[in-house]
Structures are given as C-alpha cells and as structure tokens.
Amino acid sequence: MDFLEIEGGCKLNGNVTISGAKNSALAVIAATILSDKEVTLTNLPNVVDIRTLLKLLTMLGAKVEHNDTVAKIDCSTISSTRAVYEIVAQMRASILVLGPLLSRFKHCEVSLPGGCAIGQRPIDLHIKAVEVLGAEVTLEQGYVVAKAENGLKGNKIMFDKITVGGTENALMAAAMADGVTEIVNAAKEPEIVQLSEMLNMGGAKVEGIGTGRLKVHGTNGKPLDFSEPVEIIPDRIEAGTYLCVGAITNSEITLDKVNVEHIQTSIEKLEAMGCEFDIKNDSVTIKPVAELKGVNIVTTEYPGFPTDMQAQFMAVATLASEDSLIEERLFENRFMHVSELNRLGADIWLKGNVAAVRPVKELIGAEVMATDLRASSALVIAALAAKGTTKIRRIYHLDRGYDRLEEKLSNIGAKIVRKKS
C-alpha cells in the first residue's frame, strides 16, 4: 500500500499550474453520452476518478481514447445501459450517467453509488428529477432502474435543497427531453455553468446559466452534437489547496492557469487571516505572512465557502495566533480529519457540526491516516508545516482528486516522497 512521507518545515517557492477541475470533468464526461458523434475533451486532470468514469463508458460500449489530459469519446457504439456495481461502487459521481443514459436510450440501470464516506448524500433528489420528467423508477437488487418508454417530457423540477449532482443529472436528462424543463433551486457552481454551456454548444438551450433557476429547451430526442472540443475549467479546489499550502508554510507560491473568480471565497478567508495576494488575470500569488489570524468559516453552497475547502482551512487554522470556529452545514461526517490533525499536535474540539480550533505553537510529525479526499489534502498541508517527518497512509483518496500532487509540491521545494509499505 502506498503512503506519503513528508519532511516538514521547508520554505517553499515557485509556480504551480492548476489542472482541470475533476468535478467539472466528471459531469462533462457523462454528458458525452448525449451525443452519437465523437467528442473531444481537453485539460482533463490525470486522476483516478476520471479514469474510473472513462472505464465505465467503455464498459457501456463507448469507444474511448485517453492520453493524459485529452480524451476522445464516441458514444455512438454504446450497447449497454447498465452501469455495474463494480465501477459505480468506487465513485459516487458515477450516478451522473443516470440522466444522459435515460434521456438518450429511454432506459438505464445504475448501481447505487459509493465514494467518500462523508455522509449519506442520498440520491433521492436525482431520482425525483427524472420522475418529474416522466420516468418510472424502481430500486431492484441495489440498482436504480429507470424507464421512459415514450421519452422524457419537459416539466418543472423543484429541488427541496440545493444539489450539485442532482442539478447536473436534471440538466442532462432535460437536454434531450420533449419540451421545456424548469429547474428551480438549482446549484450555481462553476461546474454547473460549464455543463450548461456545453449543452448549449451541443444543440440544447439552457437559459438562466449561473442562477438558481434554469430553463432547458430539450431537443425532443435528437442527440447533441459537440463539434468543438470542450476544455475543462481550472480546479478551484486544487487552487484553494495550494493557497493553503502557501499560507501555512509562510511561503510565496504562484498559481498559474487559475480562474480567480472561482476561488474568491478562499482568497477572502485567507485575507481575513492576514495573507496578502498579487492577483492577475489567470494567476494568483500568495505572499508570506508573519502571523496568521484566526478565522470563522461556515460552509455553504456556491458562491459561499465550499465544503471541499473546509478541511484544508482547518489545517491552516491550527497554527494561527487566535481561535478559529468552523461550522460544517453540508455533510454530517466531514470532520473525520480532526482526530488525525490532533495526532500531529493540533488542538481541535468538536461539538456537533462545529469545530473549535485552538492555536498551537507547532505541529509535530506523526503517522496518520487519510479518511477521504479532502481530509487527505488537509493532512498534507499540516505535514508540510510540521516539525519532523509525517507518514500519511491510505493516500488512494488523494489519487482520486489531485493531479501529480507530489510532483507539483516537489517542484516548489517540498520534501515529499511516495513509498510502499
């Protein structure tokens, strides 16, 4: 089993190129099912989750050519609409094939999903969305079986709570439906914006992009045609993670190929902690700061503070000069990194969905275990600032979402090595 060995306390300096956004790429890959022609995707991150979803498409019968950051996907040859447990159990985002498979083929069977254990994250909203569009849905032996023999019909989908994956599935299901679908209380994340723009390019018509109310004019069964390559947007979570690396190590790090608007909340919270930035069109430089201040964070949907950055900021807050409070409002089990950070010498106390982070003078290297994707990156951040050597186990979580992490950190001066136990 691979693990990371990190020697902390190094001063870092240099440039990090931000990869394509994993979460956006997963939805875009799923959307290629809506086309019966070859689709080219560029700026894909080289992470396990991308390879897993591409493998799923191959198992459905699609032709896939994948070379590092570029994939050519031809879904004209799909011969099966059954997304098997073997793949879906590895990654929750596999549920995103539900909407496009149903919309194009009028039938699909998708295994109940797996992925990070950070809460129940039920798929009831995904199912409700396609039912509103006329699908008959049953649960059979661990599979979501959806049928729409006469095709999906446009309707009004009202989400009780904001759901990124649910909004993505609703958009893709509505894209080939007959008539107009209105999605109320839709997610506003940049990943939703990219998917909407892609659907427009393919021949559907999405109105209200970037708002909580989307209107989708379906193609009435006509497959979409993505004639131009789709370039995946920069990963805002990866960018925020490297900003946290700069903050906790008191280093000057420049992020290249970044969308500044997408990471505005992370920048603002780090500014509240005393950090300063040099911001240009597509690059951000974080400057060294003598002392970090405490911070109060409440996670919420975009454009609020992202739950996917909560763990990383908690790591930074351990070495602040003041207490910090972090409230997690989106997922009930997303504090599993707390006990591991405390093993490194942090002083974090939990009460329900609130974490109180009390400052400590230093972190001390230890052996720790990753529990999910973002918790893994929090442990890396803490280890880079800790005195001595830290070994991080179960780093397969990191491989799901961070492109060439060791290489990028090594290039800016970190002492980080992947080893086998």
The mean pLDDT value of the chain amounts to 95
Q: What is the pLDDT of residues 79-97, one digit of tens each?
A: 999 999 888 888 878 899 9
Q: Could you give phi then psi for residue 67, rounded to 5 degrees? A: -135, 95
Walk across the sheet containing 230-231 and list its strands. 63-67, 70-74, 38-42, 230-231
Q: Are 104 and 82 in contact (CB under 8 A)?
A: no
Residue 407 pLDDT class (50, 70, 90 cuts): very high
What is the rounded distance in angstroms from the CA atom of residue 321 to the CA atom of residue 319?
7
Q: How many CA atoms lie within 13 A of 150 on its CB side?
A: 5
| Interacting residues of 4 by C-beta distance below 8 A, sequence separation 6+ | 380, 383, 391, 392, 395, 398, 406, 416, 417, 418, 419
* Whole-number pLDDT of residue 331: 72
Q: What is the pLDDT of residues 284-306, one digit of tens each?
A: 999 999 899 999 999 999 999 99
Q: What is the pLDDT of residues 28-68, one digit of tens each?
A: 999 999 999 999 999 999 999 999 999 999 999 999 999 99
What is the rounded distance in angstroms from the CA atom of residue 248 to the CA atom of residue 295?
14
Compare 121 and 372 and report the one with higher pLDDT.
Answer: 372
For residues 5-9, average pLDDT: 98
**What tokens does 413 get?**
């001066």
Alpha helices in 108-211 (DSSP H): 124-132, 164-175, 190-202
**What tokens does 311 get?**
């763990």
Task: Please pick, among 10, 75, 108, 116, the residue that the annotation labels catalytic.
Answer: 116
**What tokens does 159 get?**
């989400």
What is the rounded distance in angstroms from the CA atom of residue 4 to the CA atom of residue 377?
11
* Whole-number pLDDT of residue 386: 98
* Whole-number pLDDT of residue 332: 67
Encode 217-229: b = buried (16+ Cβ within 10 Å), e = exposed.
bbbeeebbebeee
Q: Are 339 and 347 in contact (CB under 8 A)?
A: no
* Whole-number pLDDT of residue 115: 41
For residues 266-288, average pLDDT: 97
pLDDT at 142 over 50: yes
Q: What is the pLDDT of residues 98-131, one digit of tens each?
A: 999 999 999 999 998 754 333 344 788 999 999 9
116 is catalytic: yes
